[in-house]
């Protein structure tokens, strides 16, 4: 917030406190629109950590008798942000609902990574128009990565008058005030800070899972891969203090959690911005390894910052599971260069070989983009050959989508869309064949599974994941959910494994 905005806020607060009745007219409804250009600027100023988040007394009862619903799109980071927003709303007296008709507040937590992700969100916003007409008291809010984009905000302001509130990824802790404004104001309430380097530590949190939890270790991304919008929507890289992360993991352990996933856009850059200590992801994992929680995962790794110390620590095993998600994006050095990934195919393969040597049973997964501007058939084939060479367990594959404001969006592109679609289909065929082959190796093996819940296809069947992140289906009583069991694999399929429970895990 700049000085002027702070002043407006203070004036508002003073007017409210002095007992002004109709204070809605004083709310400045547009604080700051987003700017991708601003977002690109990386300041040298220190990251401030705030431990003093609190919901103002006068807002703690605003939600009594009211319900909220949060729709979440995008990555785990967004899922976790939604848990924070739900925590804030519950501390304001709201209850959660899954029924849009029943909701007094609907928040759409959006993802900007590809055009189709954005189209889904606009579809959803469109659907809510009727609901708003039937229930004018409903507050509809748009937050998350799309609200950091000028073009999206302009489109909402022009075409979607049913939206009452727009706030950005740096403004989540401001939800109480923003929502209060939206409830009283007749105009759209908007607050999107384009660049903000702060960390808010103690926001309330309503976690969705009771035995699996996300733990943020860092925010933002400074890598600026040329196709990617994330560095603009999430701000600069900033790491949480190790002691805060470790305390959170200890707290989760005390509360019976079985698995945590450490989150960041580029977790391997963890600690680089901590100026007073030399402490990286390897050090953090080594400390978390000593905590008595059964499983620790982390995502997402950038190949460039994956160092030997981290490999050494991961090789110690224990609660550090054998699954490495290592996005490669392309097998062609020329494409990698134009993506500004800053590693080569050879250095990637060499890194993977070092990891495999240290952790022989590790499963490898990756992300791949096909149809990057001007990608040639030969370059695409280099991606196919890399996938064959790496023998990935599974891959997330995407067609390149131009994102406004990124350098790649300004590149010429001579690859027709059907060629891109055809390349994606060829890649997916190879990826699926490899997954099926990898899964076959599990046939007859006994694996440890964390039971996650009922299978989506058959409620009689439970499903869970191995340490290597393979999905396993098996029959077992429902009370096994949330426990670790040993399962003997009896059938390997392309995307999952079937098996029979041998013993609950830990019972030898």
Site string for ligand SF4, 164-203 (x = CB under 6 A): ----------------------------------------
User: Could you check whether the bond before residue 56 is cis, i.e. omega within 30 degrees of 0?
Assistant: no
Query: Which residues make up each annotated binding site?
Result: 75, 111, 145, 221, 225, 228
- Choosing from 34, 74, 168, 282, the residue that interacts with ligand F3S (CB under 6 A) is 74
**Strand 363-370, strand 394-399: pairing:** parallel
DSSP for 49-112, written as a single string: EE------GGGTTTTTT-EEEEEE-SSHHHHHHHHHHHHHHHHTT-EE-S-GGG-SEEEEEE--
- Choosing from 55, 112, 200, 285, the residue that interacts with ligand F3S (CB under 6 A) is 112
Q: Least distance from C-beta 330 to ligand SAH, angstroms?
A: 9
- The residue among 74 and 242 lying less far from ligand F3S, judged by its C-beta, is 74
Interacting partner of 233 out of ligand SAH, ligand SF4, ligand F3S, none (Cβ under 5 to 8 A depending on kind): ligand F3S
- The residue among 86 and 352 lying less far from ligand SAH, judged by its C-beta, is 352
Question: Should residue 113 be labelled a site residue for ligand SAH when binding is judged by CB under 6 A?
Answer: yes
Interacting partner of 224 out of ligand SF4, ligand SAH, ligand F3S, none (Cβ under 5 to 8 A depending on kind): ligand SF4
- Choosing from 80, 173, 223, 323, the residue that interacts with ligand SF4 (CB under 6 A) is 223
- Choosing from 75, 430, 461, 471, the residue that interacts with ligand F3S (CB under 6 A) is 75
Of the candidates 407, 402, 394, which has an alpha carbon nearest to the alpha carbon of residue 496?
Answer: 394
Rounded Cα distance, 74 and 81, in Å: 11
Q: Which two tokens stand for residue 500?
A: 């029979």
CB 239 within 8 A of CB 273: yes
Q: Which two tokens stand for residue 19?
A: 């007992």
CB 450 within 8 A of CB 484: yes
Q: Which two tokens stand for residue 405?
A: 């404001």
Rounded Cα distance, 41 and 34, in Å: 13
- Choosing from 70, 145, 245, 424, the residue that interacts with ligand F3S (CB under 6 A) is 145
- Choosing from 173, 236, 403, 423, the residue that interacts with ligand SAH (CB under 6 A) is 403
- Choosing from 69, 88, 107, 113, the residue that interacts with ligand F3S (CB under 6 A) is 113
Of the candidates 48, 281, 24, which has an alpha carbon nearest to the alpha carbon of residue 170?
Answer: 48
Interacting partner of 231 out of ligand F3S, ligand SF4, ligand SAH, none (Cβ under 5 to 8 A depending on kind): ligand SF4
Interacting partner of 401 out of ligand SF4, ligand F3S, ligand SAH, none (Cβ under 5 to 8 A depending on kind): ligand SAH
Rounded Cα distance, 314 and 22, in Å: 59
Question: Should residue 216 be labelled a site residue for ligand F3S when binding is judged by CB under 6 A?
Answer: no
Question: Should residue 230 be labelled a site residue for ligand SF4 when binding is judged by CB under 6 A?
Answer: yes
Query: Which residues make up each annotated binding site for [4Fe-4S] cluster?
Result: 75, 111, 145, 221, 225, 228
Q: Least distance from C-beta 295 to ligand F3S, angstroms?
A: 23
Kindly list the distances between the CA atom of residue 211 and the CA atoms of 21, 229, 317, in Å, as whole numbers in the listed order: 47, 32, 20
Of the candidates 450, 469, 2, which has an alpha carbon nearest to the alpha carbon of residue 195?
Answer: 2
Q: For binding to ligand SAH (CB under 6 A), which residues are involved?
A: 113-114, 227-228, 230, 265-266, 300, 302, 327, 329, 367, 369, 398, 400-401, 403
């Amino acid at each position: 917030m700049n000085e002027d905005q702070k002043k407006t806020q203070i004036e508002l607060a003073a007017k409210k406190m002095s007992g002004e009745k109709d204070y809605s007219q004083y709310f400045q409804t547009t604080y700051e629109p987003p700017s991708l250009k601003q977002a690109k600027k990386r300041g040298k100023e220190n990251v401030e950590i705030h431990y003093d988040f609190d919901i103002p007394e006068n807002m703690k009862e605003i939600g009594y008798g009211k319900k909220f619903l949060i729709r979440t799109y995008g990555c785990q980071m967004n899922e976790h942000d939604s848990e924070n927003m739900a925590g804030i709303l519950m501390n304001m007296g709201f209850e959660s609902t899954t029924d849009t008709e029943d909701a007094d507040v609907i928040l759409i937590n959006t993802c900007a990574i590809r055009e189709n992700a954005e189209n889904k969100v606009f579809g959803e916003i469109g659907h809510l128009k009727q609901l708003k007409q039937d229930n004018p008291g409903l507050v509809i809010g748009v937050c998350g990565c799309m609200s950091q984009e000028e073009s999206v905000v302009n489109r909402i302001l022009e075409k979607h008058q049913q939206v009452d509130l727009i706030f950005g990824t740096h403004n989540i802790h401001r939800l109480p005030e923003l929502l209060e404004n939206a409830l009283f104001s007749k105009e759209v309430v908007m607050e999107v800070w384009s660049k903000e380097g702060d960390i808010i530590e103690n926001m309330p949190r309503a976690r969705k899972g009771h035995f699996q939890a996300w733990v943020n270790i860092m925010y933002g991304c400074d890598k600026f891969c040329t196709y990617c919008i994330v560095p603009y929507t999430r701000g600069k890289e900033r790491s949480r203090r190790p002691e805060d992360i470790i305390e959170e993991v200890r707290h989760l352990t005390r509360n019976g959690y079985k698995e945590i996933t450490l989150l960041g856009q580029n977790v391997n850059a963890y600690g680089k911005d901590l100026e007073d200590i030399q402490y990286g992801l390897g050090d953090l994992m080594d400390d978390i390894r000593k905590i008595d929680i059964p499983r620790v995962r982390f995502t997402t790794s950038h190949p460039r910052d994956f160092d030997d110390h981290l490999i050494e620590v991961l090789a110690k095993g224990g609660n550090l599971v054998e699954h490495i998600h290592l996005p490669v994006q392309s097998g062609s050095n020329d494409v990698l260069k134009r993506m500004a990934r800053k590693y080569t195919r050879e250095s990637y393969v060499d890194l993977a070989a070092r990891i495999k040597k240290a952790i022989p049973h590790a499963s490898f997964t990756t992300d791949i983009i096909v149809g990057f501007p001007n990608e040639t058939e030969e370059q695409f084939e280099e991606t196919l050959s890399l996938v064959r060479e790496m023998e990935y367990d599974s891959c997330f594959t995407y067609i390149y989508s131009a994102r406004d404001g990124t350098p790649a969006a300004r590149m010429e592109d001579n690859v027709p869309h059907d060629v891109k679609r055809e390349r994606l289909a060829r890649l997916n065929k190879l990826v699926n064949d490899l997954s099926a082959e990898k899964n076959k190796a599990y046939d007859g093996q006994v694996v440890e599974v964390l039971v996650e819940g009922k299978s989506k296809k058959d409620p009689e069947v439970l499903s869970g994941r191995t340490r290597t992140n393979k999905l396993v289906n098996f029959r077992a009583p429902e009370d096994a959910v949330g426990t670790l069991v040993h399962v003997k694999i009896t059938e390997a399929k392309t995307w999952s494994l079937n098996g029979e429970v041998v013993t609950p895990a830990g019972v030898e």
